[in-house]
Amino acid sequence: MSTGRAAVITGIGSYVPPNVVTNDDLSQRLDTSDAWIRSRTGIAERCFITPGTSTGDLAVEAGLRALKSAGAEQVGAVVLATTTPDQPCPATAPQVAARLGLGQVPAFDVAAVCSGFLYGLASAAGLIAAGVADSVLLIAADAFTTIINPEDRTTAVIFADGAGAVVLRAGSAAEPGAIGPLVLGSDGELSHLIEVPAGGSRQRSTDRPVDPADRYFHMLGRETYRHAVERMTSVSIEAAERAGWRMEDVDRFAAHQANARILEAVAKRLGLPEDKQLSNIERVGNTGAASIPLLLAEATAEGRLSAGDRVLLTAFGGGLAWGAGTVVWPELQTF
């Protein structure tokens, strides 16, 4: 039974691995160039994990920072949004919770690709509203380089690794940091636009030989672009309307950092000027589910996002899955 409690952000943290890879680095092994990558994606550099590092490692680092930001030593549950779990089985979240010293709290993974953080927010808010937990550590982490074909210039130049996290506690919907209305959607009929064809039960249940390329991430870029722009625009409008906001009420727009062209197209359709748009894609690339919380953490630390700012969040990714939500930004410490 719902208690009417809201989920309120009380801490935030992020982490990217120290291995910075520039466009010039990639052009040494791919048929590409700095100018080509910048013009099509807006990315100049990104961070890659090194051998032996996993999604769980990234998640732990971001989780530690978020807990410190919240001044919390314990939470009631852990939710991990990821497309690149440490293993197919079990979920990575329980291991992350154990490594963070959180004991035997409920912990589970959410798989919604680049929309994972927003789906994770809905899951965490649901746990709090239902009274299952008074506080939740939500982490979004991806080591996308583990599923990207290093020889495919259409994806290898875009995707990168990183993690972002927030701590949520039970509170009032009127408080700064309270998660506003969340709007989510999906269209499985278009799942072929973004997929890793092999490795799951569908492929494993057959005796057909596996094309090595099918073990990697595939994306149909042109079709994905069109759907991303349409869905992120429409779901953003719906979320703002449910919150009682007009677009001119939005102070900051924090969209999944998919591609600079997509971000520009969505913001233009929404009528949001450049000075309201938060972006870090130039420095970190597309970090999957980690994208939005990583952006929020960096913007808070750099002063581009301040307490009281009305923030519109939106994302789009494989599934296809998309979402949007609102939050009035709270006063937060970053580490």
**How many helices and strands (H and E) does the chain possess?**
11, 13
DSSP per position, 272-290:
--GGGB---HHHH-B-GGG
- Is the per-residue pLDDT at 171 higher than 90? yes
According to the model, what pLDDT value does residue 207 have?
82
CA angle 173, 179, 183 (to 5 degrees): 120
Over residues 35-63, the mean pLDDT reads 97
**Mean pLDDT, the chain, as a whole number?**
96
- Is the per-residue pLDDT at 3 higher than 70? no
Round to whole Å and give the CA distance between 144 and 161: 6
| Active-site option among 23, 114, 218, 280 | 114
Residues 6 or more apart whose Cβ sits within 8 Å of residue 147 = 83, 84, 196, 215, 216, 217
47 is catalytic: no
| Residue recorded with tokens 């042109």 | 222
Round to whole Å and give the CA distance between 209 and 165: 39
Question: Over the stretch 200-220, which tens digit does the pLDDT of each residue have?
Answer: 999 999 988 899 999 999 999
Over residues 170-176, the mean pLDDT reads 96
Residues 6 or more apart whose Cβ sits within 8 Å of residue 166 = 9, 11, 12, 13, 66, 137, 138, 293, 296
256 is catalytic: yes
227 is catalytic: no
| Active-site option among 23, 259, 280, 286 | 286
According to the model, what pLDDT value does residue 1 have?
34
- Is the per-residue pLDDT at 67 higher than 50? yes
Over residues 148-173, the mean pLDDT reads 96
How much is the CA Rg of the chain, to the nearest whole Å?
19
Over residues 55-60, the mean pLDDT reads 98
| Active-site option among 23, 47, 218, 256 | 256
According to the model, what pLDDT value does residue 78 have?
98
Over residues 260-283, the mean pLDDT reads 97
Query: What DSSP state is assigned to residue 230?
Result: H
Which residue from 17, 26, 67, 65 is spatially nearest to 45, judged by alpha carbons? 26
Question: Over the stretch 295-322, which tens digit does the pLDDT of each residue have?
Answer: 999 999 999 999 999 999 999 999 999 9
DSSP per position, 40-74:
HH--SEEEE--TT--HHHHHHHHHHHHHHHHT-S-
According to the model, what pLDDT value does residue 77 have?
98
Residues 6 or more apart whose Cβ sits within 8 Å of residue 67 = 11, 13, 73, 75, 100, 137, 167
- Is the per-residue pLDDT at 259 higher than 70? yes
User: How do beta strands 135-143 and 321-328 pair?
Assistant: unpaired
Share of the chain above pLDDT 90, in %: 97
Confidence of residue 4 (pLDDT cuts 50, 70, 90): confident
